[in-house]
Amino acid sequence: MNSTENKLKIKDLTRSELQSYIIGLGAKKYRADQIFNWLYNNLSEDFDSMQNIPKELRQLLNEKSIISTLRKINQDNSTGTLTRKFLFETIDGKKIESVLIPDNDRNTLCISTQVGCPLDCKFCATGLMGYTRNLSAGEILDQYLSTAKEYGKEKITNIVYMGMGEPLINYEATEKSLRLLTDEMNEGITRNRITVSTAGIPKRIIDLANTDMRVKLAFSLHSCFEDIRSKIMPINKKYSLAENLKALQYYANKTKTKITFEYTMLKGLNDREEDIRALAKLTSQLHSKINIIPFNSIKHMDPDGISGELEPTPLDKIYRFAEKLRERKVTVLIRDTQGDDIAAACGQLAIKN
């Protein structure tokens, strides 16, 4: 471990933790708010640029803590679309990806919460990579702050916690990063433009509902049937769909937000007439909408396993499927497969070492 790794990552602290830390260094509490302003509104990456902070305090901060936790080491630009995929390296040499997806007047940044992912969803390249470690709050946030610094803060209108990893397994860091993003002093993105996507950890869905943050929640559904969901998402054997639906109902009621169901279309597995009926029933019971995601094959990563068997539903069938849902008064969106030429589309993030 080098000396930088030993230092405090200052963006791992919420504003109240930053206040305690600054008081502990012998400075006045209001200095913490000034530093917060430099970090999150001016996107400062250097204590010495914080001109209204006394020199002695800046020196102490330089000795004991660091600001930037990530270094961008590569960028892939999709041809034909403006999608960008960023590869970041952490201080301890781990690699993670984030994706910037422009769509009309919105630019959505998809960020990671773990290095790899332990959940092994069969349609997901990250799952096949395995799991290395959780990201800290600062590392989660720095994907946004470093991209905002490069492109301009106003250019990123939405954030989705939908990159590598399951945010609610890394709950503490995820919650802390959300708290920093939605802090009243942070002039960035509003809470209704932040979405956390989960494969379903019921207790944590309830914990998140009980915070005051009221961010949007997306749930990786992919099948309304427990046996099929368990086949493609092993986590369903531990936390069943039924248990998750109760937690989602709680979330929707408590936060007064609409749940988004993510639904990756898999040929013969979840694109049948009975799936349409089950989806219509499910969405009639919960304030929700469905995001249909065309599947990007990952056969090359696991030719002999379940992942290798999964095939995409043809696009014309996806349109008919969506139409039949709309006839049953279900709100449905079909997500664009932007960025599949650079493996930046949903479920394709995986680091090639």
Give the residue numbers annotated as catalytic, written as ranges: 97, 346
143: helix, strand or coil: helix
H helix or E strand, kind and range, residue 290: strand 288-294
289-to-41, 185, 229 alpha-carbon distances in Å: 33, 32, 19
Nearest distance in Å: CB 128, ligand SF4: 8
Among the candidate windows 20-28, 124-132, 288-296, 302-310, which touches ligand SF4 by CB under 6 A?
A: 124-132
Among the candidate windows 8-16, 121-129, 298-306, 310-318, which touches ligand SF4 by CB under 6 A?
A: 121-129
Asked whether the beta carbons of 136 and 9 are under 8 A apart, the reply is yes
Nearer to ligand SF4, 197 or 255 (CB): 197
Using rule CB under 6 A, residue 148 touches ligand SF4: no
Name which of residues 185 to 214 contact ligand SF4 (CB under 6 A): 199
Nearest distance in Å: CB 126, ligand SF4: 4
Using rule CB under 6 A, residue 164 touches ligand SF4: yes
H helix or E strand, kind and range, residue 264: strand 259-265
Asked whether the beta carbons of 116 and 126 are under 8 A apart, the reply is yes
Using rule CB under 6 A, residue 348 touches ligand SF4: no
Nearer to ligand SF4, 120 or 271 (CB): 120
Among residues 69, 56, 68, the alpha carbon closest in space to that of 22 is found at: 56
Asked whether the beta carbons of 55 and 63 are under 8 A apart, the reply is no
Closest residue to ligand SF4 in the complex (CB): 127
Nearer to ligand SF4, 32 or 247 (CB): 247
**The dihedral sign for the CA sequence 198, 160, 256, 330:** negative
**Contacting positions for ligand SF4 (CB under 6 A):** 117, 119-121, 124, 126-127, 164-166, 199, 220
